Chains A and B, each alone.
Chain A
Amino acid sequence: MADLFSNVTQIQWQMVVMWAIGGLLIWLAIKKEMEPTLLLPMGFGAILVNLPWSGAVNQTYPTGMEEGPIDVLFNAGIANELFPLLLFIGIGAMIDFGPLLANPKMMLFGAAAQFGIFFTLSLARFLGFSLEDAASVAIIGAADGPTSIFVSQFFHSNYIGAIIVAAYSYMALVPIVQPAVIKLITTKKERQIKMDYAASGVSKPVRILFPILITAIAGIIAPRSVALVGFLMFGNLIRECGVLGSLSQSAQKELANLITLLLGLTVSTKMQWQAFLNPQTLMIMGLGLIAFVFDTAGGVLFAKFLNLFTKKKINPMVGAAGISAFPMSSRVVHKMGLAEDPTNFLLMHAAAANVSGQIASVIAGGLIITLVSGAL
């Protein structure tokens, strides 16, 4: 009988804290609907891996090491960066690049809104993170979960659990973070700027050639990003080719759902209290917020900069949609535009900037890997 309950005495306060964090993630997922597909499995996983002698993760017993299924999944799908890449096929199949192809100059905002990544890299270095960890933390600013996982795993960061929690939490908090930053650095008059939208179609050959050429360009400029960009664009090619409707639907639904399910649960192995409960986790949460703030500011300030030289003024809020959080960011900008002027429809402009953020964030991930690897 004593053996039956001996595990109870192994419970430590840190485990209880992790159960509370897991509970909080589940609560946020269900009650607040914050990225529920990821936060719910992660929350449950955080509880699962923090039970004393949890059989879900690797444990070393006097008889030897026993593999846990979550660690097996981690090694099979995240350690080799497979899950985030497969998820990108699904994401690529979901994205309609039409608004961007119709108005390609909006892509500049996708570039400008990656500023938070590089600003946070410097800040994390200033705070004492190693170059690899600083790069992994900075990529939270990509506002793109799979890219965050890919880069932090590439550098074998010790903080992958905290990085992923921060990345998905702030993506869910875009409707709170972005309006505050936008209002801080724009005037009411700027937010009321109207932008004409002439709906112009995009021919099918352009839609088909776009993913192929982007893969080639990204591969040449940032070769380390070619896997990320390539899988994203492969998904998009399936969508646009017009002859693989069934595969496109599977990629958008079954594949994306299945990988997301496994990803959330698997990542939780990095939420074991020994690795998660430390001051660095709090710093990472703070740095992640800073990355999002400076991404937003980068996009908005770049739009204001362009307005100094252009006749047709750009509503600077559109620049904020250059982050990768799609479609949330474009919706936020559209709503803010309507709130300032009910006749101002910014959705298509913001959507173009937003999908360009998807591409730019992946390229930024590849660049950060290239630059940091070169400096090591």
Chain B
Amino acid sequence: MFHVQALLESLPMMGYGMLGIFIAVAVIILTVVVLGKIFPVKK
């Protein structure tokens, strides 16, 4: 009925998945910040 082994095998995927998203997002944030510095709003 319940598949404990499959659950345990999927846990690293959870870790890598969340890590991957945060890395991607961190790079995007950095990119946006750099873009903002290079192309500031003209007052």
Contact = CB atoms under 8 A, between A and B. Distances in A.
Contact of A126 (B6, B20, B23, B25): B6
Contacts of B20: 221-222, 363, 367, 371
A interface majority secondary structure: helix
- In terms of DSSP, what is the predominant structure of the interface of chain B? helix
A371 B16 contact: yes
A119 B10 CA distance: 9
A360 B21 contact: yes
A372 interface: yes
A134 B10 contact: yes
A119 B14 contact: yes
Given A121-B13, A359-B28, A111 B21 contact: yes
A52 interface: no
A117 interface: yes
A128 B5 CA distance: 10
A115 B25 CA distance: 14
Interface string A124-154: 0111100100100000000000000000000
Contacts of B41: 200-203
A159 interface: no
Interface in B24-38: 24-25, 27-29, 31-33, 35-36, 38
Given A128-B2, A217-B24, A363-B24, 5 more contacts: A118-B13, A123-B7, A128-B1, A204-B39, A218-B24
Interface of B: 1-4, 6-7, 9-11, 13-14, 16-18, 20-25, 27-29, 31-33, 35-36, 38-42
